[in-house]
Structure 1
Amino acid sequence: MNNDRRDILLRFGIVYVIILAVAAAIVFKIIDIQYLERPIWMKLASRLTQADREAPANRGNIFAADGELLASTLPKYYLYMDMRSDALHDTIKNHKKPLFYEKVDSLAMSLSRKLGDKSKDEYKRSLISAFKRVDKRFLLYPYLVSFSDMQQIRKFPLFNLGKIKSGLCEEVYARRVRPFGDLGSRTIGDIYGDGARGGKNGIELAFDSLLKGKPGVFSRQRIAGRWENVVAVPPENGADIFTTLDVSIQDITESSLLKEMTALQANEGCAVVMEVGTGEIKAVANLGRLPDGSYAERRNEAFADQGEPGSTFKVASIMAALDDGLISENDTVDTGNGLYSFFGQVMKDHNADRGGYHKISVAQAIWYSSNVGVSKAIYNAYKNNPGAFVDKLYSMKLNQRMHFDIPGAGRPHIKHPNDKNSIWSNTSLPWMSIGYEVGMPPIYTLAFYNAIANGGKMIRPYLVRSVQRDGKVIKSFTTETINEAICKPTTLTKIKAMLEGVVTSGTGKSVASPFVKIAGKSGTAQISKGSAGYKSNGVTHQVSFCGYFPADNPRYTVICVIRQPQIGIASGGHMAGAVVKDIAELVYAKKITVTPKEIAKTNNTPKIPAVKGGNYNEVQTVLSRLAINFMGDKGNYKWIQTLSDASSVQIRPMDNRRNSVPNVVGLGAKDAVYLLENIGLRTQLVGRGKVVAQSLAAGAYPQKGQTVILSLQ
């Protein structure tokens, strides 16, 4: 019994000693690895892993109001090969050559056909050379390739075996693309070239923190002889921005502005379309002339320009005095011969050289954009208390800064006579009343006219409807009221009647459309050159028109501002008004449903359109395609004049011999200029449309270099 007990204790002791020995060995090994061998293992680990890196998030997309994609981030790739891959050097089963040499011919052929920068033989030589050097980072193609191209390249011989075997490496670069090209480019904005810096301007900058998301973390580890990215913390991709922009209205707006600016050879211009009831901006176009004469979006003039608005501001001045009960729309103002002196400074009407308007009503002063009429009415109303005039403008919220979704937006500046930091003179009141000594970005003028169209309620124009992530709205924007009522309802009725009168009877006659009723106000202002004044290095102008349509039931408000037109006599109604009319007609045709009853109202229009004279072959082509009858004989002449009646077009020959001035009345501007300049004359155009008068009589002997003034209508 005792022997058995001793045997058990002995065995237990042996096991216990062994366990202690093993435990001691483990502890010793831990201490050895942790302290004695630590430098060796840390050196090995450093060769197998790299420091954590930032995993970039995908930048969010920008969409139009109808879901059209305006800006997105697409991956592009640089292509490399790691010639150190063991598989490339292995001999294929039952073959004598390494895998690389078995596939190099077919790979070189595929690369040459797809990328096209080198021949098959050139690719083969460069691949073999890199293989012999065991190049760890051989650049296959010097340019970025698209995602779709990358998908095809991965299927090429050798590459279709996978990254580890083929050694194919790729570096991904995110590139911002706009499917509609430069459409609304300055409003949508740009991002910096390296992408990491984010938005550069426009909506891209305003919503940069939401668009770029949150980066994750990945480490680089050596797996199966290759460095691979191992994601530790996945990135959170950027949110999507849904704007208020309408692609079709944006296209119409840009095209209309570009067409007019090209014709005028203007320096800068902008146009904005806003939905009356909501404040949603449907289009923003900003164009600047480049050194080569072409146009591109350089800066967001519609939001940033703090220049003097000119005559479009007259409506606010007259509204203030009407609402204060200091004037009536029927009051008579004596404008005299179009010249009036305020404290030694002469105010001038645009028709002063033709004798002025003399006695007109306050309403007519708006129709005809009479500087003297408006300034005299306002000065007489507020001369004893000019601060009351400015206070009234302030009460309309015309000076209130608004937040827009565009960085760098300007703000209105309307000085006050009691403000010690501003310069107020005896002439400030009359000059402010017609839009000088006032700073007003176009977007603020648009908001004011939109308030008129909107029954007196001023709302903030805005560009972004919502911010969404994975289809869920995380932030939304709605209509924001700035001023419930800019004036009394009776005042508003009178102002709206004046704006309709501008188009039917005043400076905006050329804006009148047979298709949609437009109301608004033109503006023509000299551009200030700061301390140099208005006339230094010649007078330059800014022309503008702001209005809404349809005037009876406003849906959209539009403003167009064009700076420094080089061709023609500066006229807000003819120049900027042409853009507004074009936009209104095209948007009306696309966006506003016309009832059969409304269509019936236009059925009394002539069946035969007015046809301009010109080159016979061109006129014949157009009339034939439109199935319009034409009568008469061109004789031996290439150029004809036309006369339209209710059922046909009459043509007659036009003699354009070089020894006499041709009769270009009835021709379009392009044809008239061609014929006159072809015989050595210079031309000056006044107005728009077809030629109704020429300063040199037809048949007169032309003197080379002589100027012919053509009146167009």
Structure 2
Amino acid sequence: MSQPRRAIQRIYVVYLLLFALAIAVVVRISVIQFAEREYWEQRAQNQSRQLKTIDAVRGNIYTRDGSLLATSIPRYEIRFDPNTSAITNEVFRNNVDSLSYQLSKLFPHKSAREWKQQLAEARANGERYHLIARRANYTELKRLRAFPIFRKGRYKGGLIYTQRNKRELPFQILAARTIGYHKENVRPVGLEGAYDAVLRGVSGRRLMQKIAGGVWMPVGDENEIEPEDGADIISTIDLNIQDVAENALMEQLQKHNADHGCVVLMEVQTGEVRAIANLTRNDDGSYWERYNYAVGESTEPGSTFKLASLIAAMEDGYVTPGDSVETGKGVFQFYDRKMYDSRKGGHGKITVQHAFEVSSNIGIAKIIQQHYGKNPQRFIDRLYKMNLHQPLQLEIFGEGKPRIKRADDPSWSGISLPWISHGYEVSHTPLQILAFYNAVANNGKLVKPLFAREIRRLGKSVKELKPVVLNPAICSQKTVAYARRMLEGVVENGTASNLRNAHYKIAGKTGTAQIYNAKYGYKYDSQVSYQASFVGYFPADKPRYSCIVVVNAPSNNVYYGNLVAGPIFKEIADKVYATSLDMHDELPVLALPKGKIRLPVGRHGHAKSLYAVYDFLGIPYTRRGDDALWLHIQTGAEKVLASGRRIREGEIPNVVGMDLRDALYIMENLGLDVTFSGAGFIKEQQPAGGTPLRDVQRVNLRLDA
């Protein structure tokens, strides 16, 4: 056989194979198209449809008095299905102009003409999920739902919206780090993290279908599982005190050009944290809440630790505040290290009480070295019994670990005991030091600091968070009394005498510690940085609140605790004392003869408010007639006569004799404009009471004392 013939045969074979393959493909397509059509359509639909998670609305965080600290603001992605079967050509043609006009008013970045063109193109292109707005608020959504076409709803009007929530802090910087945050794939911090399981709620599910462009579109409501919104947290924060604390700290940090600082105010008996501020200096010199130093920064506390040292010595019976200690001339050598007192020339021989008041390093160190030098572990054990080596078990993540090493620690040396005695070679967070001082104010009872007091769902209490006692008695009552006397002496006679107050007593301790750096030690570039602090409680005789202030690295050559941290403490304490009536002594009430009792001049007004005032002040009164919302008051010789004051429908009410607040409430609820002049109570109104309401739009009020 010739070569050409063989080549032709091979070509025929290839053609036959290709033809057979084509027949097979056609057959398979036919099978898929007709016999297996339903099966493959179902698979395609299943692959393009998925159950997607619907996030629940995260619960709110409130202050103790109900102000909003953190909330989730809903934002809506608005889509339009212009090709839903209910929107016929006639419906679209008759309504698109008015719809476009309304959209241009709500979203003016496009004109009515541009909106009309966009909607028409979306319909012509067969779009089923056309974007209208990506981040509309609820007010905008509410208006959209009333627009032409859209007002018919999702299926007949093609309006589709998906809710997404954004977390916001209405008061921004205030307690921001303690409130914390919750982000995907990042460990949550603050109250947001501590109560995440409560706040986040239960997610729902929604069937979604992928359409052109990879966009997921909701498919019907019948397959939707509604999410369960999160519960609310009522924090212990007092907004007014928090504001004072934040501003006082900010002012001192700026004044002393400090690196960072913190302040915490805590209720003595319960451990509720009423205010907590943490500020860090930014590169531009401004300050912001970036890290919770009060909770997380563990440093050598310095002189504020001297209280623990003396409590240990007094509890073991070695000293009392009246005993004497020789402090010498302000310099004393322990082994190969010299210890200094801040006062040049020293204090000589003084009492233990005075050594604490003037914060003598040498005095405290000599006491501890003398009585525990042969058995330093006994001193450490006494500190352990006061829980100073244990974390506070805070609900907020990130608590710094306290450190008090044992006497058998490899790093223990001959100078460890005297240096520990005045706050070095140990480390604590500001909150741990505060909790210890709070225990002294609380008659020895150590309580856990609390940041939340209640969990609520839909306004109803789910759980109340009670105080937690960590140690019922850190020492004996006798030692507590000694310690409190010494702390009062610091303010009355010692390093914090600049905090003395004529109205109430403060008890506390100043602290000035050199800052240790793991790389450079206590000096960097021949410079020493300091940490200034003050911790204490007030009023000293009946402790109600404890407070700590810590300022890190002030850099304007002023670094002592009484001058840098003390003023912050005093400003907060003054504000709290001034606004807390229950902290003031009651004035004596003088009994007067029955005929001499003076009753208040009658003022008309809101019944519930007036009755509450009379009950609180013990003013006798008689109710005349049935209960009414408003009262007419007459002052008799021995009691007040309260009569109901009716507001007749269709008439201008008579508000003469009321205060302005009540008068405005009544008039404005009737839809009337009100103008007023003067001060005091309503003396005259125009038009007069009883004038037909239909004839009046504005009421003029004249006030006089």
Q: TM-score, normalised by structure 2?
A: 0.73
Per-residue deviation, 1:311: 0.8
| Contact 2:499-2:506 within 8 A present in 1 as well | yes
User: Which residue number in structure 1 is paired with residue 41 of structure 2?
Assistant: 43
| Contact 2:206-2:218 within 8 A present in 1 as well | no
- Distance in 2 of aligned mates of 1:244 and 1:217: 35
Three-state SS of the structure 2 residue aligned to 1:356 is coil
Q: 2:139 aligns with which of 145, 148, 168?
A: 148
User: Which residue number in structure 2 is paired with residue 388 of structure 1?
Assistant: 378
- Distance in 1 of aligned mates of 2:385 and 2:206: 57
| One-letter code aligned to 1:443 | L
Aligned pairs, number: 548
- Sort the Cα spacing of 1:566 and 1:127 in 2 relative to 1 into closer, same or farther, 3 A: farther
Per-residue deviation, 1:75: 1.7
Per-residue deviation, 1:207: 1.7
Query: Does residue 237 of structure 2 align to residue 249 of structure 1?
Result: no
Query: Does residue 207 of structure 2 align to residue 219 of structure 1?
Result: yes
Alignment of 1:81-480 (within 5 A): 81-92=80-91, 99=92, 101-141=93-133, 143-192=134-183, 200-220=188-208, 227-231=219-223, 233-352=225-344, 355-419=345-409, 422-471=410-459, 473-480=461-468
Three-state SS of the structure 2 residue aligned to 1:583 is helix
- Distance in 2 of aligned mates of 1:493 and 1:174: 53
| Contact 2:232-2:456 within 8 A present in 1 as well | yes
User: Which residue number in structure 2 is paired with residue 640 of structure 1?
Assistant: none
User: Which residue number in structure 2 is paired with residue 542 of structure 1?
Assistant: 531
Three-state SS of the structure 2 residue aligned to 1:75 is strand
- Sort the Cα spacing of 1:266 and 1:135 in 2 relative to 1 into closer, same or farther, 3 A: same
Alignment of 1:573-588 (within 5 A): 573-588=562-577
- Distance in 1 of aligned mates of 2:479 and 2:581: 28
Three-state SS of the structure 2 residue aligned to 1:236 is coil
Three-state SS of the structure 2 residue aligned to 1:567 is coil
Per-residue deviation, 1:443: 0.9
User: Which residue number in structure 1 is paired with residue 653 of structure 2?
Assistant: none
User: Which residue number in structure 2 is paired with residue 569 of structure 1?
Assistant: 558
Per-residue deviation, 1:549: 0.6
Three-state SS of the structure 1 residue aligned to 2:181 is coil
**Cα deviation code 1:214-268 (max 9, x no counterpart):** 223333489xx98324345443332322222222222222122112212222111
Three-state SS of the structure 2 residue aligned to 1:191 is strand
- Sort the Cα spacing of 1:262 and 1:128 in 2 relative to 1 into closer, same or farther, 3 A: farther
| One-letter code aligned to 1:70 | L
- Distance in 2 of aligned mates of 1:165 and 1:50: 22
**Cα deviation code 1:480-525 (max 9, x no counterpart):** 2222222222222121111111111111122222333211001011
User: Which residue number in structure 1 is paired with residue 24 of structure 2?
Assistant: none
Per-residue deviation, 1:125: 4.0
Query: Does residue 478 of structure 2 align to residue 495 of structure 1?
Result: no
- Distance in 1 of aligned mates of 2:51 and 2:204: 10
| One-letter code aligned to 1:385 | N
- Distance in 1 of aligned mates of 2:124 and 2:552: 65
| One-letter code aligned to 1:573 | N
Three-state SS of the structure 2 residue aligned to 1:424 is coil
- Distance in 2 of aligned mates of 1:350 and 1:131: 83
| Contact 1:220-1:230 within 8 A present in 2 as well | no
Per-residue deviation, 1:182: 2.8
- Distance in 1 of aligned mates of 2:224 and 2:87: 31
- Distance in 1 of aligned mates of 2:587 and 2:438: 24
- Distance in 2 of aligned mates of 1:590 and 1:494: 30
| One-letter code aligned to 2:548 | I
| One-letter code aligned to 2:160 | C
| Contact 1:189-1:199 within 8 A present in 2 as well | no
| One-letter code aligned to 2:577 | Y
Alignment RMSD: 2.6
User: Which residue number in structure 2 is paired with residue 70 of structure 1?
Assistant: 69
Per-residue deviation, 1:269: 0.8
| Contact 1:516-1:584 within 8 A present in 2 as well | no
Per-residue deviation, 1:350: 1.8
- Sort the Cα spacing of 1:209 and 1:526 in 2 relative to 1 into closer, same or farther, 3 A: same
- Sort the Cα spacing of 1:226 and 1:587 in 2 relative to 1 into closer, same or farther, 3 A: closer
User: Which residue number in structure 1 is paired with residue 513 of structure 2?
Assistant: 525
- Distance in 1 of aligned mates of 2:343 and 2:119: 79
- Sort the Cα spacing of 1:265 and 1:128 in 2 relative to 1 into closer, same or farther, 3 A: farther
Per-residue deviation, 1:317: 0.5
Q: TM-score, normalised by structure 1?
A: 0.72
**Cα deviation code 1:95-124 (max 9, x no counterpart):** xxxx2x443443333333323433444444
| Contact 1:252-1:587 within 8 A present in 2 as well | no
What are structure 2's unaligned runs of at least 5 residues? 1-33, 211-216, 590-705
Query: Does residue 547 of structure 2 align to residue 555 of structure 1?
Result: no
Per-residue deviation, 1:272: 0.8
| Contact 1:199-1:208 within 8 A present in 2 as well | no
Three-state SS of the structure 1 residue aligned to 2:565 is helix
- Distance in 2 of aligned mates of 1:81 and 1:364: 79
| Contact 1:219-1:230 within 8 A present in 2 as well | no
Three-state SS of the structure 2 residue aligned to 1:52 is strand
Per-residue deviation, 1:412: 1.2
Per-residue deviation, 1:357: 2.2
Per-residue deviation, 1:41: 5.4
State, as a whole percentage, how many aligned pairs show the same letter.
39
| Contact 1:221-1:229 within 8 A present in 2 as well | no
- Distance in 2 of aligned mates of 1:441 and 1:494: 25
- Sort the Cα spacing of 1:399 and 1:375 in 2 relative to 1 into closer, same or farther, 3 A: same
- Distance in 2 of aligned mates of 1:125 and 1:403: 62
- Sort the Cα spacing of 1:277 and 1:293 in 2 relative to 1 into closer, same or farther, 3 A: same
**Cα deviation code 1:441-497 (max 9, x no counterpart):** 111111110011111111111212233444555544212222222222222212111
Per-residue deviation, 1:210: 2.3
| One-letter code aligned to 1:542 | Q
| One-letter code aligned to 2:78 | L
What are structure 1's unaligned runs of at least 5 residues? 1-35, 93-98, 601-713
**Cα deviation code 1:553-573 (max 9, x no counterpart):** 110000111101122410111
- Distance in 1 of aligned mates of 2:581 and 2:280: 31
- Distance in 2 of aligned mates of 1:515 and 1:46: 80
- Distance in 2 of aligned mates of 1:233 and 1:182: 37
- Distance in 2 of aligned mates of 1:490 and 1:205: 41
- Distance in 1 of aligned mates of 2:501 and 2:182: 41
| Contact 1:323-1:488 within 8 A present in 2 as well | yes
- Distance in 1 of aligned mates of 2:400 and 2:258: 22
Three-state SS of the structure 2 residue aligned to 1:83 is coil
- Distance in 2 of aligned mates of 1:39 and 1:213: 43
Three-state SS of the structure 2 residue aligned to 1:162 is helix
- Distance in 2 of aligned mates of 1:599 and 1:423: 61
